[in-house]
């Protein structure tokens, strides 16, 4: 079993119910190999934490930006609470070192690990809420997630990569990006796509995904990096 006191020390928190903290990191797969563990998996905590997280972020934006319209606040919130951002935040807090996973899941990297980290972050918020209350959640989220907001606004990261690449391409080179499937494989229920994004005849970048839309989004993100836009 992991030593969660090290995580408490790192985060500057002290849980009254240590089992709640541990449970936040228990993936469903872990219980299949460790049925003797006297804890449930973290999915109910994730359900609760998702709601707490959304409320905290919404309250923060509502109070901090009284002149901003609902639509703009909604896009900012989405940029803060999406799986990628939550996974990045969880990784920066060393949550990877405390995940309780099956041997199979422990080997998974990439998007699979990203989703596990994002879900664990939400579960952690749920456990923090139950153990230390809303104010502790607010403080934790403000210090570890909401600090990213200034960068999100400044770099327009609240816009998806396709929108940003199209705006930049039209402004800089007067061209609209075109997306074309380069390769695809796998059965219908588990397709995999490689999508290329072109400016005129030039292939700028490729992206992969389990849907064409996901591949396009990754291709656009890669194109922004390649172009330095």
54 catalytic residue (yes or no): no
Phi, psi of 84 (to 5 degrees): -65, -45
Catalytic pick from 46, 50, 131, 218? 50
**Cα angle for residues 166, 167, 169 (degrees, 5° grid):** 65
Catalytic pick from 46, 105, 122, 217? 122
Cα–Cα distances in angstroms (integers) from residue 128 to residues 2, 12, 141, in the given order? 18, 12, 11
122 catalytic residue (yes or no): yes
| Residues taking part in catalysis | 50, 122
């Amino acid at each position: 079993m992991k030593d969660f006191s090290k995580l408490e020390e790192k985060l500057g928190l002290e849980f009254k119910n240590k089992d709640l903290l541990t449970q936040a990191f228990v993936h469903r797969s872990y219980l299949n190999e460790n049925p003797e563990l006297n804890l449930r998996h973290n999915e109910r905590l994730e359900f609760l934490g998702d709601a707490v997280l959304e409320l905290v972020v919404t309250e923060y934006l509502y109070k901090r930006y009284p002149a901003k319209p609902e639509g703009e606040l909604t896009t900012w919130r989405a940029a803060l609470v999406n799986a990628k951002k939550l996974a990045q935040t969880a990784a920066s807090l060393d949550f990877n070192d405390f995940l309780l996973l099956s041997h199979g899941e422990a080997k998974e990297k990439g998007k699979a690990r990203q989703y596990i980290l994002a879900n664990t972050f939400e579960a952690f918020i749920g456990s923090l809420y139950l153990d230390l209350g809303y104010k502790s959640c607010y403080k934790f989220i403000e210090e570890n997630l909401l600090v990213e907001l200034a960068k999100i606004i400044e770099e327009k990261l609240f816009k998806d990569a396709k929108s940003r690449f199209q705006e930049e391409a039209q402004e800089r080179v007067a061209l609209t990006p075109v997306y074309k499937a380069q390769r695809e494989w796998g059965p219908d229920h588990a397709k995999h796509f490689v999508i290329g994004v072109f400016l005129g005849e030039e292939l700028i970048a490729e992206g992969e995904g389990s849907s064409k839309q996901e591949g396009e989004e990754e291709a656009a993100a890669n194109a922004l990096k390649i172009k330095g836009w």
